[in-house]
């Protein structure tokens, strides 16, 4: 597997030009706060002092998880394919928010335990009918992981536009994400495991016990790709490949919640410069997401108490990217507006 090579966005001359352009707008210095930082980041990604938000898209990656057999979810596995049907019927929250914000939406079958057949709006990249139960054996073989990564990279090669948001759907995937977080950050498991789709306190304790036993069973999995193959999901692996390729192509990556961030955690261990390309949409209410963000040095744009997934946070943050681009591109300068820059 050839991991994409990602160039850091650091450019001292361009940073100075962007700062000068931002500071020359008709406003007090720094008065647009995070939007100014976002404009500078987008400019560095796009190598320009003029930003474009071109054909933004959100990809929702769906996959099932064998670890559901251990009773780690409040919902049955069938909900994964039923929600994919809901996406295709334009009935989910992500459909509403993507449509509201003029964003293309692509639903990807990365490994759902269901046969959809050829369907309009569904991208068939199925690696298998769900992963194996990582409480008993590795979730994926090395070959399956390679396939997931390659499919994710291929999707980015073919995707138009320069902004891509990531979303997911998969009953049991908060269990996989918590295991990835614990293994890759070394934070205590209790800080990584949360309620997911709505587990009770007893259910959360059960989830933590399952992950703890699996971590002991698979103690030899230590490298990022070994950890991903052992505990991850087809949808998480496919997101890792897509993220790496998107950053190599200098696209802006809109990062959603807990599961999407766990995929980024793997990608960042492989190519740390990927973080230069990431805009963190929000901090979710899933236990562990805040600490995962902190481990990446991330500053999310929003905190709305979300814990739905689907890429909903990515869609809701998209207007802020437009705002950052528009003020830099369209706002008058002091000179053009004949506004004085000196006090009386």
What pairing do the DSSP bridges indicate for beta strands 122-124 and 163-169?
A: unpaired
State the Cα–Cα distance between residues 169 and 165, nearest whole angstrom.
14
State the Cα–Cα distance between residues 181 and 167, nearest whole angstrom.
18
Burial class (CB in 10 A: 0-12, 13-18, 19+), 141: middle
343 — alpha (psi -120 to 50), left (phi > 0) or beta? beta
Burial class (CB in 10 A: 0-12, 13-18, 19+), 239: buried
Rounded-to-10 torsion of CA 13, 51, 167, 277: -10
State the Cα–Cα distance between residues 294 and 288, nearest whole angstrom.
10
Radius of gyration, CA atoms only, the chain: 21
CA 166 to chain centre: 4
Nearest to 116 by CA among 151, 81, 148, 167: 81
Q: List phi, psi (to 5°) of 297.
A: 70, 30
Catalytic residue numbers read 310
Encode burial over 262-299: b for 16+ CB neighbours within 10 A, e otherwise. Answer: bbbbbbbbbbeebbbbbbbbbbbbbbbbbebbebbebe
Helix (H) or strand (E) holding 280, with range, is strand 278-280
User: What is the number of other CB atoms lying within 10 angstroms of the CB of residue 21?
Assistant: 18
């Amino acid at each position: 597997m050839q991991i994409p090579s990602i160039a850091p966005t650091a450019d001292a001359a361009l940073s100075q030009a962007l700062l000068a352009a931002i500071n020359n707008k008709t406003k007090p210095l720094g008065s647009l706060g995070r939007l100014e930082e976002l404009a500078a980041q987008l400019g560095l990604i796009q190598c320009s002092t003029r930003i474009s938000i071109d054909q933004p898209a959100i990809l929702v990656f769906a996959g099932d998880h064998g670890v559901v057999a251990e009773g780690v979810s409040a919902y049955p596995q069938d909900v994964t394919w039923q929600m994919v049907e809901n996406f295709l019927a334009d009935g989910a929250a992500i459909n509403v928010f993507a449509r509201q914000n003029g964003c293309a939406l692509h639903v990807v079958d990365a490994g759902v335990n269901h046969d959809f057949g050829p369907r309009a709006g569904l991208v068939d990249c199925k690696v298998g009918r769900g992963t194996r139960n990582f409480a008993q054996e590795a979730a994926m073989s090395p070959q399956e992981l390679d396939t997931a990564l390659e499919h994710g990279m291929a999707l980015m090669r073919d995707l138009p536009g320069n902004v891509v948001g990531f979303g997911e759907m998969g009953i049991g995937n908060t269990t996989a994400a918590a295991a990835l977080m614990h293994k890759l950050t070394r934070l205590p498991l209790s800080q990584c495991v949360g309620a997911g789709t709505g587990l009770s306190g007893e259910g959360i304790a059960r989830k933590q016990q399952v992950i703890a036993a699996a971590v002991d069973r698979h103690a030899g999995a230590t490298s990022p790709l070994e950890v991903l193959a052992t505990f991850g999901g087809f949808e998480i692996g496919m997101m890792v490949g897509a993220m790496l390729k998107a950053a190599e192509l200098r696209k802006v990556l809109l990062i959603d919640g807990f599961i999407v961030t766990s995929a980024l955690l793997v990608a960042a261990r492989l190519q740390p410069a990927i973080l230069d390309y990431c805009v963190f949409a929000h901090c979710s209410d899933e236990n562990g997401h805040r600490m995962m963000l902190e481990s990446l040095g991330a500053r999310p744009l929003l905190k709305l108490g979300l814990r739905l997934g689907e890429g909903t946070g990515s869609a809701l943050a998209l207007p802020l990217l437009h705002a950052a681009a528009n003020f830099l591109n369209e706002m008058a300068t002091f000179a053009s507006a004949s506004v004085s820059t000196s006090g009386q």
